Amino acid sequence: NFIGAWLRNRPGHLPVSFSEAALSRYTQSTGDRITREQLTGDEELRQRYLIWWRSQRREFLMGLRDHLHTHVDTGLQVLYTAFGAEPGPPIDGFNQRIVTDDVAGWEQILREGAEEGVTPLAHVLATEQHLQSLLREPETWEHWEWQHAVPPPDPEGYKETEDVLMTYVFHRAYSVDQAAALEAFRAGSGLAIVRHYPLNEAAMEGQLGYFASDVDRAGAYSMLEEVRAVAHGDPRFIGYLVASRYTRGFPEYVRAFNAAFLALPAIPSVVLTGASQDDEIVVRRYDAGPGKPTYFAVAQTGLSPKGVVRLDLGLRGNVRDLVSGELIQARGRIIELDLGPCQLRALATQ
């Protein structure tokens, strides 16, 4: 089940280079002779150089893809994660702020703390702060040049590119609540999302020595972000960057989600408008082609159990649960499902 190569840039591993060799290649490519001193003092020239550099990164990734296609198998993917920091880029630079829909409650909790404050969730979503944090250059200081050591992704350059994908960072709930942000990273072969956990680590002290672990939400809510990503973004690939080894706090919910997600076809889907009267329940339809079943993903993105809900799938006939094998009887175009919080169900026509 080898699907390709996944590269992640750590600081300085694939930097924007201003070496003599790099400047010479720029001159050969563009006909313009430039110096580091000119790049330091001319922001417009630096931006032109960055455009060229991103084109070289794209050629490198496409060359890697072509190598895999030639020497391993056609259709293999190259995924590139541009972010070197464990938790992904912050939405507010170096500031440490809590994003919440309960501003008053958290301001009370933090009134004596060292944190720099609270940011309303609605503001983060309205201003697309998560997407902007992914696309902008990292902040730097003095002469460290973090913006060149870990250059950001340019997903717009891969919109029509097959089998090369820039990965999208997800972590907190707000990172998967906007379809437009997820869509910005969709490439010709679909969308790849990678979960970044904050690195919860202890230094080399005490009896255990170095220790690192990740933290999950509790129970069914451990899959909140993945379910919302399916609802709002229709990812083809879901990956994880973990502190030490891949473990989850509540594996039964992880297994249930993974079984449903992997049962769905790796083809584009559309949101089935009007399928549910509840805005927290999103139904996606996957059309596999003539003579094949029609598939449906039912994503219950809410935090509370829904009980038995009625869904209009837009066609008549029974459907089958692709994980349990249960036959779900339809009444005309209507089926009924019992949905818990943060749950994904995979269905198909008979």
Do residues 262 and 286 lie in contact, with contact meaning Cβ atoms separated by under 8 Å?
A: no
**Model confidence over 199-223: pLDDT tens digits?**
777 766 666 677 777 888 999 999 9
Q: What radius of gyration do the chain's Cα atoms show?
A: 23
> pLDDT at residue 1 above 80?
no
| pLDDT grade for 96, boundaries at 50, 70 and 90 | confident
Give the distance, in angstroms, between the CA of residue 27 and the centroid of all CA atoms in the same chain.
36
Each residue of 291-321: pLDDT tens digit? Answer: 999 999 999 999 999 999 999 999 999 999 9
Q: What is the pTM of this model?
A: 0.94
Q: Identify any residues that bridge with 192 across adjacent strands, giving them in sequence order.
A: 237
Distance CA 210, CA 200 (A): 11
Per-residue pLDDT, 205: 67
pLDDT of residue 206: 66
Superfamily of domain 270-349: Golgi alpha-mannosidase II (2.60.40.1180)
Using 50, 70 and 90 to split pLDDT, how confident is the model at 76? very high
Alpha helices in 234-311 (DSSP H): 251-263
Q: Average pLDDT in the 236-252 region? A: 90
- Quote the pLDDT of residue 117: 83
Tokens found for residue 236: 């083809």
Residue whose tokens read 């089940």: 1
Name the percent of the chain lying above pLDDT 90.
Answer: 83
Confidence of residue 114 (pLDDT cuts 50, 70, 90): low
CA distance 224 to 170: 11
Q: Which two tokens stand for residue 338?
A: 């019992």
The residue that leads in pLDDT, 166 or 215, is: 166
Beta bridge pairs of residue 77: 4
pLDDT class for 115, splitting at 50, 70, 90?
low
CA 199 – CA 213 distance, rounded (Å): 7
Tokens of 276: 């549910």
- Mean predicted confidence (pLDDT) in 255-279: 98
Q: Give the C-alpha separation, 42 to 53, whole Å.
A: 16
Among 345, 337, 267, 257, which Cα is nearest to 299's?
345
Record the tokens describing residue 297, joined without a space: 């993903």
- The mean predicted confidence, pLDDT, of the chain is 94
- Tally of CB atoms within 10 A around 206: 9
pLDDT tens digits for range 5-27: 999 999 999 999 999 999 999 99
Q: Considering only CA atoms, which of 181, 142, 163, 153 is closest in space to residue 82?
A: 153
Q: What is the pLDDT of residue 243?
A: 80
